[in-house]
Every structure is written in structure tokens, then in C-alpha cells.
Amino acid sequence: MTRIAVVGAGGMLGTDLMRALSDHDATALTRNELDITDADAAVEVLSGYDVLVNASAYTRVDDAESDEENAHLVNAVGPHNLALAAARHGSRLVQLSTDYVFDGTATEPYPEDAPRHPVSAYGRTKAAGELLALEHNPGRTAIVRTAWLYGKHGSSFPRTMLKLAADRDTLDVVNDQLGQPTWTGDLAAQIVALIDAGTPSGIFHGTNAGRASWFDLAQAVFVCAGLDPDRVKPTDSSAFQRPAPRPSFSVLGHRAWLDAGIEPMRDWKQALQAAFDSGALTAE
């Protein structure tokens, strides 16, 4: 049986990955078990695994603007070390990445081979991680870019909306940023499908289908929760100035899944309803 190591297994995606891999030979590695910024530790700990999945990341997008060195350590040096370990042991590597490797100026879904052009510190470090992983474990590395993640085991936009709904009559939410809300439950299952297909190398976009603004997502969350969606009011990004620039367009294309014989992920509205039905989204 294929032996799988999930690095960053204590996070929102990592937790769902371990659940999705319950019938596989999978080992959960949190930072306590492996510090990915330590190259020697990566080589030692990851010996004997056929597939490495790196779900660990520095995801504090705004903090990265003033803390790019530490973000680079986790998001670039870490994947570099994992790729070196994978190459040493002949393992396949699945490196999680992000829509922030693009500048967000497109008007049509970004294909997997679109040029990287990050405009934030976080995006730069994740783009570097992609390149290093591909370079140092060539032919055995799959990059899975995702975006707008939410799930049961961490903070997320839908959960924030539910919490605010309990305290406020109305909420102002931006409607000039487009992306693909993505449930970690679906993404975890998609990564398992990638592993079961032999972990084809290349770049894949791991997002639910369709597109939405944050305003659309907030209204959909209210509907799923049985609340009045008219309590959500549209505004634009100028009302929420933040240190890191946000891509205005983060819709990703999914052609690589079809080319690999794997069905892309379902529409984001279906996934959101399923997340509510499963109990993955509550205000708690």
C-alpha cells in the first residue's frame, strides 16, 4: 500500500485530509513532528514514504508584508526542503499553493500555465515555493493551487459571517473581488483522487467550480443558515484598506484535472450547502 505523509496535518485542510485518507496508510505530521524549515529533519522524518503532501503554510497574508522573511522560510524554504527529501527518497510531492501567485488582473479563468505575477509578499513566497518544489523534485511534483478556503477546523470567511450575524443587523461585504469559495472537505477528497491516480506531476487548480464575490458568498452563507440574505449589503474594496493587496479576480481554470482523467470539483454553491449539511460550518 502507498505510504503517505501529510505535513501540516494539524491545520484546517490537513485535518480534513487525514479524514479523507482514513482508508489509506497515512501519517499525520504536525510542526511538533516535523519543522519543514529544517532540511536535515525533513530528510530523516520523511524516509519511507511514497507520497508527501505539504499542507503547511504561512497564511497570514497581511502580516507577511512586514514579515516576509519568516513567510519565505515556511512558504519557500519549507517546500524546497520537502522537495529535496522527496528527491532523496524517490517520493512524489503534492505542494499546496494559492491564487495569490497571480496578480488578479485577468478577466477569464487563469489556466494552470498562466505566468506567475504575485503582487504581495505572501504571493511572492508561495510562488517561490512552487518553483523550488518543481525544480528540486522534477517529474514527481504536483502543485495544487487553491483559494478562498473554508472548513470545520479553522477560521474562515463563512464562519466569520455567521459570528457577525449574531451581533449585527446588517453586514457590509465587498462585491468587487471575484473568486471561488472552496470547501476543505472537497479539496481533501480531490487531493486523495490525485494520489490514487498516481499523483501526476504538474500544476492543478484545486478550487470549487463557478465564481462569486465575497458579497455573493456572504449572502449564500446567510441562506444556508436560514438567515435573511438582504442583511448583507454590498460595498467595494476601498472600504476595507489592508496592508496586502487582494487580487480582484481569483477565478482559476480546471483543465489539468480533465487531462489527468479526474473530474474537477463541483460548483461552490453545492459544496457550501454540503458543508452546512455535514456540520462543518457553524458559528461556534
Count Cα atoms within 13 angstroms, Cβ side, for 99.
Answer: 28
| Active site residues per annotation | 122
Report in angstroms the alpha-carbon separations of 57 from 9, 35, 74, 244. 11, 11, 6, 17
Q: CA-to-CA distance for 115 and 70, rounded, in angstroms?
A: 25
In order of 16, 31, 250, the CA distances from 80 in angstroms are 24, 16, 25
Q: The cell 497581511 sits on which residue? A: 62
Sign of the Cα pseudo-torsion (62, 68, 70, 72, in order) = positive
Q: Positive or negative CA dihedral for 14, 18, 196, 7? A: positive
